[in-house]
Amino acid sequence: MHNDVLSRCCSGALLLCKWLLTIVFSIPFISEKTSAGTNPADPAKVVRVAFEAADDGFDPVRTANAYSNWVINGIIEPLMTYDYLARPAKLIPNTIESMPEILEEGRVYVFHLKKGIYFAPDAAFKGKPRELTAQDYAYTLKRFLDPKNHSPSANFLSGKIVGMDELVAQANATGRFNYDAKVAGLQTPDPYTLRVTLKQADYNFLSILAYSAFGAVAREVIETYDGQTQSHPVGTGAYMLQKYMPHSKVILVANPNFRGYVWDFKSSGSLEDDQIVRDMKGKKMPQIGRVEINILEEEQSRWLAFQSKQLDFDKLPQTVAPTVLSGDRLKPEFIKQDIHLYRQVEPSLTYTFLNYKDPIIGGNSLEKIALRRAIIMSYSVDQEVSKMRMGQAVKSEMIIPQGVEGFDPTYRSSVGYDPELANKLLDHFGYKRGTDGYRTLPDGKPLVLKFAVASGTDKMIQSEIWKRGLDSIGIQSSFAVSNFADNLKAATLCQLMISPSSWSADFPEGENFVQLLYGPNAHQSNHACYASAAFDALYEKAIALPTGSARQPLYIQMNRQLEADSVWSVGVSPVRNWLIRPWVKGFKKHPILRADWQYLDIAPH
């Protein structure tokens, strides 16, 4: 999933033009009383947090923006979720009675839903309680494959479910997706049973269905708010959207219909887990009744907000890390404030993509590959770690980050920082320097690299690192600053020449990262618009195998193929330092789950 700052980037702000017409979206409560839920949340318990970049709406079909999915994760519910404390990440039932039956060697999955789960109250339900059914999940999955939705997450399901390809083909031919059509691979024999049949075994299918985007939505909600679904999310989760001010503020409140649960996660044996269990075990959840999210893109603004206790927990801004940390620990003045530090290397990856379809730098001719490789060799990841991230990152060598199955700690990239060799490469392929010191294309036409970057001090530093490196090899560059959501939209349309980006794990297996370079995923998650028959063949062979050691050699070959074609400059895995005020109880950042509010408590302060 596209992460802001780093950029786990995808999807587009499809409704921004409409958002400009309305400054504030307020979603009112439906006031009728219902006995469907037993949500114990306390309206007086408020958690205040910040996002580093703006969302692009909350319709799961239309976004892969990490911040959108953070909110979505608190509102809609997938069939499965993750154990809050278990590491490595462990799937557990969510809206289903138990983990699914798996039949026919991994081709058939049978899910049995819990009874008595209700959607949050909404005008679309005309004042009546609306129970969650298996049909809601079937409808949700179909929406991702409806061609008119152009879902950036469609690749998770495309070509997998028996009978769905035919329905998609019919929709492409007629211009209308028939949601009422029966699909052999997507059956609901009764209101609480969902049976999914795949064309072939997919060893990550359960993890895919646990991705927050595949939480159930109600058809009547989508049809009621047609064209405005990004500002009207309605689900069965712990929270519901109360107020939405795009690019500024999001407020969630407790869903009165949420069934609640008792906090009963098991410690992994660490002292930190033991303390969390002592603080939380046996509590009726959620405790927090209101979540206030402010969009604060500037690091200094977020830091000032945390210092003034306007935020209850936040990521430590990289620029102030030397002020706050001594190595991997808090300095004494912050320990005295009873601030808690939670530190982790995120299962995410930063990279800069070079558009394989761009008329200037794209293509598979030797001179174009040489140009892209020289560009990559001009960039110092070490400078990014030290100057942009203040040491709060780990340099990546491969396209699968640590913490994700498929990562090889011994792997070393064949394309590294080497401006001297980059200059020789460009000289050899006829990229001559002009009187101004900058190179032209071999045919004498101008060569100017156009970067699309997001705003922010750290992005400025990264742009300066790129410019210095490119100047050293005689390539002229320009940097256009735009907001995160607009860059994502342009990237899905293959309209950006070069842009920094990132991806955070949707599930902890390497397929989630290598799919970013699979040819058919162009206009979805493949923003480099990379199309390599060799890479695609390796990808298809890998995903047909069980996860684990069988896939590892193929993941290594895919890395080498990417290096040969040079369409990514691989960056870092960020080290995230979460600062938590002492009144926040139960905090442990999960590598996959985003919305953690329903697992926390706020003590009096």
The whole-angstrom separation of Cα 441 and Cα 598 is: 56
The whole-angstrom separation of Cα 402 and Cα 404 is: 5
Token output for 367: 């001179």
User: Packing angle between helix 533-543 and helix 552-565, nearest 10 degrees?
Assistant: 160
Give pLDDT, residue 486.
85
User: Would you place residue 25 in the very low, low, confident or very high pLDDT band (cuts 50, 70, 90)?
Assistant: very low
Beta bridge partners of 49: 293
Give pLDDT, residue 2.
66
pLDDT tens, residue by residue, 163-210: 999 999 999 999 999 999 999 999 999 999 999 999 999 999 999 999
Please give the sequence-ordered ranges of beta strands (E in DSSP) within 200-248, or none if there are none: 239-245
Give pLDDT, residue 3.
60
DSSP annotation of 571 reads: -
Mean pLDDT of 393-405: 96
Token output for 351: 């990279």
The whole-angstrom separation of Cα 579 and Cα 564 is: 41
Residue with tokens 């098991």: 266
Q: 36-40, 254-258, 488-492, 577-581: which has the minimum mean pLDDT?
A: 36-40
Residue with tokens 């083909």: 169
* Count of residues making up the chain: 605
Give pLDDT, residue 458.
87
Q: For residue 286, say if its preceding peptide bond is cis, omega within 30 degrees of 0.
A: yes
- The CA-atom distances, in angstroms, between 410 and each of 384, 407, 413 are 22, 9, 10
Mean pLDDT of 261-265: 97
Residue with tokens 């469907």: 36
pLDDT tens, residue by residue, 437-451: 999 999 999 999 999
Let me know: does 454 contact 481? Beta carbons within 8 Å. yes
Closest CA to 77 of 220, 235, 242: 235
pLDDT higher than threshold 80 for residue 319: yes
Closest CA to 243 of 228, 233, 235, 257: 233
User: Would you place residue 483 in the very low, low, confident or very high pLDDT band (cuts 50, 70, 90)?
Assistant: confident
Beta bridge partners of 429: none
Does 271-345+577-602 match 30-38+55-239+257-262 at the fold level?
no
What would you report as the CA-atom Rg of the chain, rounded to the nearest whole angstrom?
24
Mean pLDDT of 229-239: 98
User: Would you place residue 21 in the very low, low, confident or very high pLDDT band (cuts 50, 70, 90)?
Assistant: very low
First CA to last CA distance, the chain = 36
Token output for 547: 């996860």
pLDDT tens, residue by residue, 70-98: 999 999 999 999 999 999 999 999 999 99
Mean pLDDT of 480-489: 86
Let me know: does 560 contact 386? Beta carbons within 8 Å. no
Q: 91-100, 140-149, 235-244, 480-489: which has the minimum mean pLDDT?
A: 480-489
Closest CA to 366 of 445, 426, 454: 426
The CATH architecture that domain 348-575 belongs to is: Roll (3.10)
Q: Work out the mean pLDDT of the chain and round it to a whole number.
A: 92
Q: For residue 88, say if its preceding peptide bond is cis, omega within 30 degrees of 0.
A: yes
- The CA-atom distances, in angstroms, between 252 and each of 29, 48, 62, 249, 605 are 11, 11, 20, 10, 22
Let me know: does 594 contact 420? Beta carbons within 8 Å. no
Give pLDDT, residue 34.
38
Domain boundaries, the chain: 30-38+55-239+257-262, 271-345+577-602, 348-575
Give pLDDT, residue 64.
84
pLDDT higher than threshold 80 for residue 7: no
The CATH architecture that domain 30-38+55-239+257-262 belongs to is: Alpha-Beta Complex (3.90)
**The 568-570 sheet, strands edge to edge:** 476-481, 448-453, 498-504, 348-354, 568-570
pLDDT higher than threshold 70 for residue 232: yes
Residue with tokens 């808090």: 330
Mean pLDDT of 544-569: 97
Q: In angstroms, how far is CA 334 from the centroid of its own chain?
A: 31
User: Would you place residue 37 in the very low, low, confident or very high pLDDT band (cuts 50, 70, 90)?
Assistant: low
For the four alpha carbons of 482, 487, 493 and 498, in that order, the dihedral sign comes to positive
pLDDT higher than threshold 80 for residue 12: no
Give pLDDT, residue 15.
33
Give pLDDT, residue 4.
46
> Which has more confidence, 7 or 109?
109
- The CA-atom distances, in angstroms, between 573 and each of 90, 265, 345, 433 are 22, 28, 7, 36
Phi, psi for residue 601 in degrees, rounded to 5 = -135, 155
Judge: domain 271-345+577-602, CATH 3.40.190. Answer: yes
Give pLDDT, residue 488.
84
pLDDT higher than threshold 60 for residue 468: yes
Instruction: Report the share of the chain in percent with pLDDT over 70.
Output: 94
DSSP string, 410-433: T---S----HHHHHHHHHHTT--B
Q: In angstroms, how far is CA 555 from the centroid of its own chain?
A: 21
pLDDT higher than threshold 90 for residue 20: no
Mean pLDDT of 37-56: 92
User: Would you place residue 36 in the very low, low, confident or very high pLDDT band (cuts 50, 70, 90)?
Assistant: low
What's the number of CA atoms in the CB half-sphere (13 Å) around residue 119? Answer: 26
pLDDT higher than threshold 50 for residue 26: no
The whole-angstrom separation of Cα 27 and Cα 18 is: 16
